[in-house]
Amino acid sequence: MLTEVLDIVMDDAENQAGWGIASGDAQEWRMLLDELIPKLYTMFMGRWPNPALAEELVQKTVFDAVRGRHGYDPSKGAPQDWIFGIAFNNIRMEIRKRASRPAIDVNAAMYLQALDTRLLPDEVLERKETAQQVRATLEALPARERDVLKARYLEALSIEEIAGRMGATKKAVYSLLYRAGISFRQRLVGDGPRGEA
């Protein structure tokens, strides 16, 4: 009897949440996104080990859901299932996109050389060797440059937050970030200064 009552209460709560999502209730959306963003990220990373692509796909899925919320019918299932449906659709689109572009040369060095003239193919980023090379390059950078790159791109901090943390002006952070990028590129492709970390 008690379990039946609990089931009814739980179903009712889920239904309420579902209607809140469909009608654009900010509180319901915040709770849903806090729960789903890490799960979506893990799912995309499991498919392609590429954090930048995983973030891009999570972002696309979230915005597809927010913009298409009027098409969600709570009587057909939980909002989580509906959003995962959108995510699977985005995976299918990514697979189709990859199938339609030419195969990538196995020599990643060629692409790394052209770091400032074109966008690196996702396939190069997904190679285990690239990740190892990036870690080694970061470790070889002077501490200040390494810290600013990690704060900006790994922790996704804003320029203001980095400036506060480093006790520097925003302009100085922009400048340091730019110099760190150049330095990172030089070391990564093997034509930069070494051994001054």
Partner 1 sequence: MENKKNYLQRNVSRLVKLAGDSAVPAKGFTDSLVASALQELDQSESHGLFRAGFLNGGIDKIMGVAAAAAVLCGAAVQLLLAGLSWASPALASTLLVTTSINWLSYLGRLML
Residue among 140, 161, 142 at smallest CA distance from 151: 161
| Nearest distance in Å: CB 120, partner 1 | 5
Nearer to partner 1, 4 or 70 (CB): 70
| Nearest distance in Å: CB 147, partner 1 | 12
Nearer to partner 1, 88 or 153 (CB): 153
CA 40 to chain centre: 10
Q: Which residues bind partner 1 (CB under 8 A)?
A: 24, 26, 29-30, 33-34, 37-38, 41-42, 45, 49-52, 54-55, 58-59, 62-63, 66-67, 69, 115-120, 125, 130-131, 134-135, 138, 149-150, 152-158, 161, 178, 181-182, 184-185, 188
**Which residue bears the tokens 């009814």?**
8
| Nearest distance in Å: CB 40, partner 1 | 9
Nearer to partner 1, 6 or 97 (CB): 97
In angstroms, the Cα distances linking 154 to 9, 72, 145, 166 are 41, 34, 13, 16
Residue among 105, 86, 103 at smallest CA distance from 43: 86
CA angle 152-156-160, nearest 5°?
65
DSSP state of 100: T
| Nearest distance in Å: CB 25, partner 1 | 9
Q: What is the rounded distance in angstroms from the CA atom of residue 115 to the CA atom of residue 123?
A: 14
Nearer to partner 1, 14 or 56 (CB): 56
